[in-house]
Structure 1
Amino acid sequence: MNEIEILWLPLVTFALSSSITPGPNNIMLAASGVNYGFCRSISHMLGVSIGFFILFLAVAFGLGSVFTRYPQPQTGLKYVGSVYLLWLAWKIATASTVTGI
């Protein structure tokens, strides 16, 4: 078996499990649909779909092997991602509540 045949099964498994699980993107889309309606949520749906496709391409073209060879960018992404998640958590924690529902 060549390298493409060996990596095909994990790639398909990743794509299938990522696309059907009720993750945060699906929850955000459901909330957007409830709050703004279907038509106003179409751009959100397209953004999630395009983002997933870009993630799928990055995995398909071997981004993991780049991080294996050069671990410094991955470490940097971990720190930047952690700071961003903390900032999002702070925004959520300090957001005003919606009344009248």
Structure 2
Amino acid sequence: METTSLAALALYTFVMCITPGPNNLMLTTSGLIFGMARTCPHILGIAFGAATQLIAVGAGLGAVFAVEPRLQIGLKLIGSLYLLWLAGKLWRAAELRGAALVAPVTFFQAAAFQFVNPKAWLIAVTVIAAFVSPGDGYALRIALVCAVFAIVGTPCLAVWAAFGAGLRRILHDPAKLLFINRTMAALSAITAGMFWL
């Protein structure tokens, strides 16, 4: 891959990973409720799931979605239901002590969520189409794309988790925490609705 293409891929990765989306919303919430250390498996699971998704799209799965659009509807439905479930849990969370009753998203749950996250599919299909040309060295180019996503994307994800963890340190007033939880719940519900736009 040429240097200009690599720079363009790194910039695309940065923009896609740092901008708001379902993953970043969930990471901020996890950082707020569980702290940074307990959110690390979630971050790494997203990175692993994204790499797996890029490999799957590169292997031809992206073409399946073009042929069978009902699969996309099913993924949107599952992703929406998950975000609405998360919104419900956040809405009812009154204080950080209540988080002990809930476990953070695991590595494998975060990886699996990528396969029902429409933004993740959009990113994977776009990256393979724009940055991975067919021919000799195809598998190596896919591996390079996965490496760029890990190197550039993982710190972007960590920023969102750190933001939530930072809020955790300053929010000791239960009324403020309730406001933040309900704001995050509303944003989760809005994100689920945006899947259908």
TM-score of the aligned structures, taking structure 2 as reference length: 0.36
Cα drift, residue 45 of structure 1 = 0.6
Is the CA contact (8 Å cut-off) linking 1:33 and 1:41 kept in structure 2? yes
| 1:57-87 per-position Cα deviation (integer Å, ceiling 9, x unaligned) | 233344333444xx24x42x23432442454
| 1:9-50 per-position Cα deviation (integer Å, ceiling 9, x unaligned) | 8x9376454323221101111110111011111111111111
| Structure-1 separation of matches of 2:15 and 2:57 | 14
What amino acid is aligned across from residue 42 of structure 1 in structure 2? Answer: C
**TM-align CA RMSD:** 3.3
Other structure's SS at 2:92 match: coil
1:81 alignment partner, one of 68, 75, 81: 75
Match of 1:99 in 2: 94
Structure 1 gaps of 5+ residues are none
Match of 2:50 in 1: 52
Name the structure, 1 or 2, with higher relative contact order (CA <8 Å, separation 6+): 2
Other structure's SS at 1:39 match: helix
Structure 2 gaps of 5+ residues are 96-173, 175-197
| Structure-1 separation of matches of 2:20 and 2:80 | 23
| Structure-2 separation of matches of 1:51 and 1:90 | 21
Tell me the number of residue pairs that the alignment of Structure 1 and Structure 2 aligns: 91
Q: Are 1:30 and 2:28 an aligned pair?
A: yes
Give identity over the alignment, percent: 31
